[in-house]
Amino acid sequence: MRERGVALIMVLSAIAIMVVMLAEFQDESSAEFASATANRDAVQAEYFARSAVNLSRLLVASEPTMRQAISPLFALMQRTVPQIPVWSYADRILGAFNDQEGSKDFVGLAGLDMSLGKNLGLKNGRFEVVIIDEDSKINANMGAANEIAHIRLASQLMSLMAPVQYNPMFEQRDATGNFNDRLTTCAAIIDWADQDEQLYSCDVTATPSSNAIEDSWYQMLPKPFRRKNAPYDSLEELHVVRGVTDDFWATFVDPDPTNPSKRKMTVWGQGTVNINTANAQTLYALVCSGAPKADLCTDPLQMQTFAMGIALAQGVTMGAPLFGKPSDFIAMMKGQGMLGPMLTALGLKPVKFQSESEFAKSISTESKVFSVYAVGIVKGYRRETRVRIHTVVDFRAIPPLLASAASAASSTSNSQTTSSGSSQSTSSITAALQPNVGGQVLYYSIE
């Protein structure tokens, strides 16, 4: 009997050990399987996002071809053909390549029968894409350019920060216990990117002076460092600049991180601001940089009237460009042209610019640098994997889409008919050195 009891205990102990081992093995297997599945979904989501980026680059590159197709219509009206903001509708236009919901959205937009298409759409996932033109923002990297660009940027920054409702922000101490008024913050943004060690004066009412040495504020921090004295590489780099506090960032740089269209500043772009796509606050800063003594820039009521008028005009056109050329915007602010009388009727007083020719050099009606925010999404069991890609693409100095396709076809034909290996190599090198019709990537990040 005793021997049977001992045997029973041994059997139960063996079973208990096996149960523990099995549970541990199951936990390890489940964890490894979940990890492998998550890695698989992350790779798939990343490539969904990459596909959205490439499609977005093709969409923007095709805009000049679309514009050329409607040029006869504008020629009859004796108007300049504006740039078509196709990027604003990227999510709907590219819906044909997305999931079923995206395809339905595309069908509602274009009225096409998607059943005739082949190999379109995504399975087991989707992508979200937003394209923002960086030329609709104030470019902080103008501080790395010439003296004229410095003056232009200083005027725009001071006008952006000028309204009296922002006074409390510049009257409080920062985290280091120092005060940073408007002039100090403006100078710090420019001095970070310029190449010299001279303090820049943002006082637009006085003659610019470069005799003073840049302050030693960065060297007095707990972890000291030096100014970069080179162009900004990313927008986040502004965080280390003196005066760019969290309040400043949320007010003047990126008010809503979930909506990039509300961003007011950039470190990419041509240097001129697209008046057709800039928001009302950015347009206000532009106008006041060219006419600081105008009633619009000194009277809060006039500022509200301007914002209301711009919102009304943009709402009437439903996203269509308001201005064919920079002079149209100047005429509107003077109370002339097609939109000027409307603003005057709302109570906005005409603006007299210090120099219309110089102000016209700071604005444009065409964007060339774009940010693509693409998110690849893969749904799993009780979870969702998301991979976000932000890339900035420069479309300056690129060949037209159709001309590039014809050139590529010609190069292929020549390389097939030639009998010399050196000729084929030369043709390949020449093709590789040609500008990419999809633009040049300036910035790329994956989250």
Say what the pLDDT of residue 210 is.
54
Lowest-pLDDT range of 141-155, 284-298, 390-404: 390-404
249 with 116, same domain: the answer is no
Q: Which H or E run contains 386?
A: strand 383-394
Q: Which H or E run contains 379?
A: strand 369-380
CB atoms within 10 A of CB 93: 20
- The proportion of the chain whose per-residue pLDDT surpasses 90, expressed as a percent, equals 43
**If pLDDT is split at 50, 70 and 90, which confidence band does 104 have?**
confident
- Mean pLDDT confidence for 419-440: 66
208 with 277, same domain: the answer is yes
Residue-wise pLDDT tens digits, 281-339? 999 999 999 999 999 998 889 999 998 888 888 777 766 788 888 999 999 999 998 88
- Mean pLDDT confidence for 403-431: 54
DSSP designation for 105? H
- 206 occurs within a structural domain: yes
- Mean pLDDT confidence for 8-23: 77
115 with 193, same domain: the answer is no
- 263 occurs within a structural domain: yes
- Rounded to the nearest integer, the mean pLDDT of the chain is 85
* Confidence check: pLDDT of 377 > 80: yes
Distance in angstroms between the alpha carbons of the first and the last residue of the chain:
68
Range of the domain at 250: 135-364
Structural domains in the chain (count):
2
Say what the pLDDT of residue 14 is.
78
- Mean pLDDT confidence for 95-102: 89
172 with 270, same domain: the answer is yes
Residue-wise pLDDT tens digits, 72-87? 877 776 677 888 899 9
Say what the pLDDT of residue 414 is.
52
* Confidence check: pLDDT of 433 > 90: no
332 with 284, same domain: the answer is yes
3-state secondary structure 36-76: HHHHHHHHHHHHHHHHHHHHHHHHHHCHHHHHHHHHHHHHH
147 with 220, same domain: the answer is yes
Burial of 114 (0-12, 13-18, 19+ CB in 10 A): middle
- Mean pLDDT confidence for 364-375: 95
Distance CA 263, CA 278 (A): 10
**If pLDDT is split at 50, 70 and 90, which confidence band does 431 have?**
low
- Mean pLDDT confidence for 191-199: 88
* Confidence check: pLDDT of 421 > 60: no
Lowest-pLDDT range of 64-73, 182-191, 244-253, 416-425: 416-425
Q: How is residue 358 written in tokens?
A: 């110089």
156 with 223, same domain: the answer is yes
Say what the pLDDT of residue 186 is.
94
- Mean pLDDT confidence for 224-232: 90
The DSSP annotation for 181-238 comes to -HHHHHHHHHHHHSSSSBPPP--TTS-----SBPP-TGGGSSS------S--SSGGGG
- Which positions ≥6 away from 55 have C-beta within 8 Å? 94, 97, 129
- Mean pLDDT confidence for 204-225: 75
205 with 313, same domain: the answer is yes
- 29 occurs within a structural domain: no
Lowest-pLDDT range of 143-147, 199-203, 374-378, 431-435: 431-435
- Which has the higher per-residue pLDDT, 432 or 383? 383
Distance CA 267, CA 238 (A): 9
* Confidence check: pLDDT of 129 > 90: yes
In this structure, what CATH number is given to the domain that contains residue 258?
1.10.40.60
* Confidence check: pLDDT of 353 > 90: yes
Lowest-pLDDT range of 24-33, 42-51, 117-126, 201-210: 201-210
292 with 145, same domain: the answer is yes
- 228 occurs within a structural domain: yes
* Confidence check: pLDDT of 401 > 60: yes
- 397 occurs within a structural domain: no
Distance CA 284, CA 110 (A): 36
* Confidence check: pLDDT of 209 > 80: no
229 with 258, same domain: the answer is yes
267 with 145, same domain: the answer is yes
- 156 occurs within a structural domain: yes
- 47 occurs within a structural domain: no
67 with 208, same domain: the answer is no
- Which positions ≥6 away from 343 have C-beta within 8 Å? 305, 306, 309, 332, 333, 335
Residue-wise pLDDT tens digits, 259-295? 998 999 999 989 899 999 998 999 999 999 999 999 9
- 378 occurs within a structural domain: yes
Say what the pLDDT of residue 403 is.
55
- Which has the higher per-residue pLDDT, 224 or 435? 224
* Confidence check: pLDDT of 214 > 70: yes
